[in-house]
């Protein structure tokens, strides 16, 4: 059963008048395959809140989600339905972010970028959606910073994710690897190896990222490899 079919089933289980956010409550404690449903709905729902759009889902908005998800023929309607439900819900994005945080981080502990928790994956996905139109606005930056805060991600983690993805943002290679500026070459190598391992599709799927969202790893892997190359070349000079 495809993830899009499972999402359709989750939506059909909503009682009349129930908001989309109820799905996150029902998925708490679910096994990893169903957490991948939570991941997908979380990205779509917060992406809808970030768009602040109204009316029918535009082609541009669906195209933005193609930066993250693979859509088999005929499945885009499920993503569009999630998008519309999120926009119609009167709850703010911060309420959604808190429910998503409880779904994937029930203990509420602080998370750092090195953990590569699934909440960091969701944040990266939202960054890629924000960048789909070729620009990154201050309003989007404020939105994503607030989401990160609601997720329990600290400011260095937010800066690390932003440095990996936003062209023109300060991109110090140490920021990309989540390291202090005085980190040694050996520490940088270790951080790079851990990030490469955590970006492997099998590892990402184990923590709940669906196979349909493996595009998420492509940009991350490219940037962390570039960061390690810069540090290694600087140390060799």
Cβ distance 103 to 24 under 8 Å?
Answer: yes
pTM of the model: 0.87
pLDDT tens by residue, 131-143: 877 788 888 899 9
Q: How many CB atoms lie within 10 A of CB 167?
A: 9
Highest mean pLDDT among 30-39, 126-135, 148-157, 186-195: 186-195
Please tell me the predicted confidence (pLDDT) of residue 62.
65
CB-based contact 142:93 (threshold 8 Å): no
Residue 53: predicted pLDDT? 45
Q: What is the pLDDT of residue 129?
A: 86
Instruction: Report the SS3 class of residue 153.
Output: strand
Q: DSSP readout, 72-134?
A: -TT-HHHHHHHHHHHHH--S-HHHHHHHHHHHH-TT---B-GGG--HHHHHHHHHHHHHGGGS
Q: Give the pLDDT confidence of 202-224 residue by residue, as tens digits.
A: 888 888 888 888 888 888 888 89
Please, which residues have CB within 8 angstroms of residue 52's CB and are 6 or more apart in sequence? none
Give the pLDDT confidence of 157-185 residue by residue, as tens digits.
898 888 888 876 667 899 889 888 889 99
- Portion of the chain with pLDDT greater than 90, in percent: 26
């Amino acid at each position: 059963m495809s993830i899009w079919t499972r999402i359709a089933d989750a939506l059909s289980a909503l009682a009349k008048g129930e908001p989309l956010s109820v799905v996150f409550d029902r998925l708490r404690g679910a096994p990893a395959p169903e957490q991948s449903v939570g991941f997908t709905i979380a990205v779509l729902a917060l992406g809808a809140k970030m768009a602040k759009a109204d009316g029918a889902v535009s082609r541009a908005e669906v195209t933005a989600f193609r930066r993250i998800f693979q859509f088999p023929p005929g499945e885009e309607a499920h993503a569009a339905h999630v998008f519309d439900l999120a926009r119609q819900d009167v709850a703010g994005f911060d309420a959604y972010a808190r429910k998503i945080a409880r779904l994937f981080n029930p203990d509420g502990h602080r998370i750092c970028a090195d953990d590569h928790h699934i909440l960091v994956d969701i944040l990266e996905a939202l960054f890629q959606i924000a960048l789909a139109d070729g620009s990154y606005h201050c309003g989007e930056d404020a939105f994503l910073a607030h989401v990160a805060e609601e997720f329990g991600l600290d400011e260095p983690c937010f800066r690390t994710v932003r440095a990996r993805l936003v062209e023109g943002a300060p991109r110090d290679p140490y920021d990309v690897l989540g390291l202090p500026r005085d980190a040694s070459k050996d520490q940088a190598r270790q951080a790079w190896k851990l990030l490469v391992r955590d970006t492997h599709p099998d590892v990402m799927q184990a923590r709940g990222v669906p196979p349909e969202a493996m595009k998420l790893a492509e940009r991350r892997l490219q940037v962390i490899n570039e960061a390690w190359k810069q540090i290694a070349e600087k140390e060799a000079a």
